[in-house]
Amino acid sequence: MAWYQQMITLEPRSRGFHLITREILSALPQISEASVGLLHVFIQHTSASLTINENADPDVRVDLESSINAIAPEDFPYIHTMEGPDDMPAHVKSSLLGASVTIPVSNGCLALGTWQGIYLAEHRDYGTPRRLVLTLNSDE
């Protein structure tokens, strides 16, 4: 068994759902050497999150953003408002989606479904650089 860990910083992105699968793969080339393993991806922030969803139709990203905004709207009477109207809804959205994803690795590839990709869900209007910790446990 081997362990690999890499921290990466993603460029700032606007609010929305952004595919980051390729960035993760390029940051951890050891994935291609693993015949079996697990990749854990963790975001070190509380106003953005990670999720896995369809990566083919860009309309999915728009609908995900619209849906999550309906669940945690900015006009809700939040108490925590010191960091602006998009901050507390961002915390709620992050808690709903989660701070990590774990993906099986099989034959040197992420064992994602045909239409699946890893998304950074940026919940602030103007995101900051986002730090991810990538941890691979594999047989190689």
* Over residues 46-64, mean pLDDT: 97
Q: Is the dihedral of CA 69, 75, 77, 79 positive or negative?
A: positive
Based on the structure, what is the number of domains in the chain? 1
Radius of gyration of the chain (CA): 16
- Identify the CATH number of the domain in which residue 77 sits: 2.60.120.460
Could you tell me the CA-to-CA distances from 136 to 67, 90, 106, 125 in Å, in that order? Answer: 32, 28, 12, 31
Q: Which domain holds residue 42?
A: 2-138
Percent of the chain's residues with pLDDT above 70:
100
> Is 140 a residue whose pLDDT tops 90?
no
Q: What is the pLDDT of residue 53?
A: 98
Rounded CA separation 11/47 (Å): 15
Q: Is the pTM of this model over 0.85?
A: yes
* Over residues 13-27, mean pLDDT: 98
